[in-house]
Every structure is written in C-alpha cells, then in structure tokens.
Amino acid sequence: MAGVRTAAVAEPVGDVTALLGEGPYWVAEDDCLLWVDILRGQLHRTYFPSGETITLTLENASAAFPAVGGGILTVGGRKLKLHLPAERGEEWVTRVVAEVPARERLRFNDAGIDPAGRVWVGSMHLDETDPVAALYRLDAGSVLTRVLDDVTISNGMAWSPQGTRMYYADSPLRRLDVFDYEPATGEVSNRRPFLDLSSLKGVPDGLTVDADGCVWIAFFGGAALARITPGASVDAVLDLPVSQPTSCAFGGPGMTDLYVTTASTGLTDQELAAQPLAGRLLRLHPGPVGLPSTTTYATLPV
C-alpha cells in the first residue's frame, strides 16, 4: 500500500473563489476538472496545465460528469440535465434527462458514477435535520429508482477497485457506510456501518477511492482529509489550510494529483482573513494514486 505524504502542501489552482465548491471530477481526455459552485449554480471547467477556468451559470448544479456520446450531465435541484455545446457560439443546448417530484425543503446533493457508468444521485434536507431525503439510481427509461430512504444529507459515494463495494456517507451520522454491490446490475444490499468517524473533527462530506482501495474523505468543518483503509482503519489525516473542504478527486498525469473543492460560505470576515484559500480549488500530491474507474463517463440509459 502506497504511503501518504501527510505534509503534502495544498496549492490553489486557477483564480475562482466559490461560495460552496463541490463535486470535483477529472476528465482525462480533456485534461480538465469539472466542479461546481452549488450556491451560485455554476459549472466550472478548469483546464490543465494552464489552470484556466471556463464557467457556465446554470439554474442550479450540485454535481457534474462527462456523458457518453458527448456533453456534460449535471445534477441540481430535482433534475438531471444533459448540456450539449452548440456548434457555434457560447450557447448550450439543454435537455432534462430525469427528475423527481418537487418536495419542500429537499434538493439533490452529491452524485456518483459507478465503474460501469451508472448514475447515482442523493438528495438532502435543506435544514439538515430531518431524515426525509433519499438515494436514487438512474435506470432504463430515464427512471430515477429510489434505492434508499431516511437520508438527511446524502453525500460522498464511491466504489472499491473490484466494484463489489459501494461506500456512502449520510453526513449527520458521522460515519462511513458500505453496501455490497453487484457490478453487473447495480444492485446494492447489506448496508452496514464501515467506520465510525465521530472521533474526527468535522462531518464527512465528499469522498473518492484510490488504487489501493482506500477511501479519502473530506471533513467539512474539520480542515482535513482522512484516508481510510479497506480494513476500516484511519491510515492518515492530511491537514488543510481551509476549514471547509467539501470533496476530493484524483486526476492529472498518472492520477497522482488530488483535487479538493472547498467552501467560503458561512465564514466570518475574521475567518476569511485567516483562510485566504477558502472557496478555492486546491491540489495536493499525497503519494497514492487514483483509480481510472473514478473517471468513468456517465451512461444515460434509453
């Protein structure tokens, strides 16, 4: 198992400061990182090595993925939408792929793509108090199948290198859960606690899996990332120069870069002065490398 450089320095990428940065996703073919600012409804595309960021302002966005056949799939509000660039100019063509009925104080939050390209999306309660949200899978006929109920803040989801485990966090529970996963069908079963995270500062937010099968979790309010082994132990904790990291994803040449999205919302003027990188996209070189399957394109079933 690759060792972790716990003293890895987090460097800012580009010049965008988000209110609530989220959902980093590496697109290897374009040397591009997709990420969003949830509170501004913005989709960012940051290109490397320049760090140039192109921003598309949408009605809402909480996650984004490249789609098989072209375009970008976004998750936001209560809808999944496919955005296709027009042949000329800056206009994009958008169509709704799937949606769920409107429910008061609920919206989609985090999402994930399994190694076969299946789309998973979770919702959250805006007051962050009541377990009335859910986890969905996009199935044939553009149907969002409700897989899990009684969720409060549906957050990070990722798959083991073999695709037989699905990791998942409902943030207020302050633990990492795991399902048995059937790669051929996308069926989940046997949800169980994987690791109690209540001893770590902050709440578990977005996550990813590396090539060793370890889970990396951003701790919102905890100013840190934690690496969890497949045997359910904390392998390393990396301190960050911001208190509100939101998610993380590997990318770059050889999948050696670890990108971290962060938030500036809710911080006082004094806290913002002490955290000049709050809301920025950060990059670290922690040692372990990412899984190619974490850059899978979203497959939109017919």
Nearest by Cα to 138 from 63, 57, 43, 208:
63
Tokens standing for residue 301: 């079933």
Helix (H) or strand (E) holding 189: strand 187-196
- Predicted TM-score (pTM) of the model is 0.95
Q: Is 180 a catalytic residue?
A: no
The tens digit of pLDDT for each residue in 81-101 reads 999 987 655 678 999 999 999
Q: Of 17-21, 91-95, 111-115, 149-153, which range is least confident?
A: 91-95
Q: Given a cut of 70, is residue 255 above it in pLDDT?
A: yes
| Residue pair 79/99 in contact by the 8 Å Cβ criterion | yes
CB 191 within 8 A of CB 148: yes
Q: Give the confidence band of 277 by pLDDT, cuts at 50, 70, 90.
A: very high
Q: Is the dihedral of CA 143, 147, 153, 157 positive or negative?
A: negative
Angle at 90 between CA 88 and CA 92, to 5 degrees: 90
Cα–Cα dist 102/40, whole Å: 20
How crowded is residue 54: how many other Cβ atoms within 10 Å of its Cβ?
11
Question: Cα-atom radius of gyration of the chain, to the nearest Å?
Answer: 18
The number of C-alpha atoms within 13 Å of 195 and in the hemisphere containing its C-beta is: 19
Residue type, 83: H
* 155-207 residue pLDDT tens: 999 999 999 999 999 999 999 999 999 999 999 999 999 999 999 999 999 99
The arithmetic mean of pLDDT across residues 133-142, rounded, is 94
pLDDT score recorded for residue 278: 98
- Residue 89 amino acid letter: G
CA distances from 32 to 147, 156, 166, 195, 292 (A): 31, 21, 26, 33, 15
Find the catalytic residue in 205, 210, 235, 257: 205
Per DSSP, 73 falls in state E
Which residue from 280, 285, 286 is spatially nearest to 12, judged by alpha carbons? 280
Residues 6+ apart with CB under 8 A from 270: none
- The token pair at 223 is 């100013």
Q: Is the CB of residue 222 less than 8 Å from the CB of residue 180?
A: no
